[in-house]
Chains A and B, each alone.
Chain A
Amino acid sequence: EVQLVESGGGLVQPGGSLRLSCAASGFTFSIYWMHWVRQAPGKGLVWVSRINSDVSSTSYADSVKGRFTISRDNAKNTLYLQMNSLRVEDTAVYYCARGGAKGSGSYFWFDPWGQGTLVTVSS
């Protein structure tokens, strides 16, 4: 069974840092692009960041650029999101999601998704 399990969320003060993890299983993690998508309480879905299969390329939403860093460890089948200089508006459920496979030509669709981890930024 293809599965993604996020962890690392919690309550943090503005200006603080948090590192999210996403453990993948049931598929060949190393050949897929991976994404983070967030959803503020009661709001819609917002793409945050992506990393390609061989870790040579990343991209970010403007709202997190320079503050968040996406990374992956293909040996451990794990995706990460390092979040620094957190703001109140970063409060959301953060989902990791699998994108397209290397060479497929289509990478920006999301299937499956993890269950999400809640990040709350508040003083």
Chain B
Amino acid sequence: DIQMTQSPSSLSASVGDRVTITCRASQSISSYLNWYQQKPGKAPKLLIFAASSLQSGVPSRFSGSGSGTDFTLTISSLQPEDFATYFCQQSYSTPPAFGQGTKVEIK
């Protein structure tokens, strides 16, 4: 099975900051990488699919990059509504594994 590792596990940032979250796969997954945002008590929401494609309705301050084993989610200017937990997920093979999550907190 493919393992997904995110870093950091948590971070503190201020409104307006540029935030970068990384995700590493245990083997190459090409561009089969998706990113989700989850707020407390809510279901996850798809932000980015196929490593760099922005899901409809998602603000353009979110972007994704990478291929193979190393991927990045970037929030260009953090907004108050972006404080949440972010998960990466590989869709290359079964089982479709998630990273452990990165909690973005207010500094």
Contacts and interface: CB of A to CB of B under 8 A. Distances in A.
Give the interface residue-count category, chain B.
20 to 34
Contact of A109 (B38, B43, B91, B99): B91
Interface in A100-117: 106-116
A104 B98 CA distance: 22
A111 B55 contact: yes
Contacts of A95: 43-44
Nearest to B99: A44
B96 interface: yes
B interface SS class:
loop
B34 interface: yes
A95 B44 CA distance: 9
Interface string B84-107: 000101010011111111000000
A46 to B, nearest CB: 7
Interface string A85-104: 00000000001000000000
Interface of A: 44-47, 50, 59, 61-62, 95, 106-116
28 contacts: A44-B98, A44-B100, A44-B101, A45-B36, A45-B98, A45-B101, A47-B95, A47-B96, A50-B94, A59-B95, A61-B95, A95-B43, A106-B32, A106-B91, A108-B32, A108-B91, A108-B94, A108-B96, A109-B34, A109-B49, A109-B89, A109-B91, A110-B36, A110-B44, A111-B45, A112-B43, A113-B44, A115-B42
Interface of B: 32, 34, 36, 38, 42-46, 49-50, 55, 87, 89, 91, 94-101
Given A44-B87, A44-B98, A111-B46, 17 more contacts: A44-B99, A44-B100, A44-B101, A45-B36, A45-B87, A46-B98, A50-B94, A59-B95, A106-B32, A106-B50, A107-B91, A109-B49, A110-B36, A110-B89, A112-B43, A114-B43, A115-B43
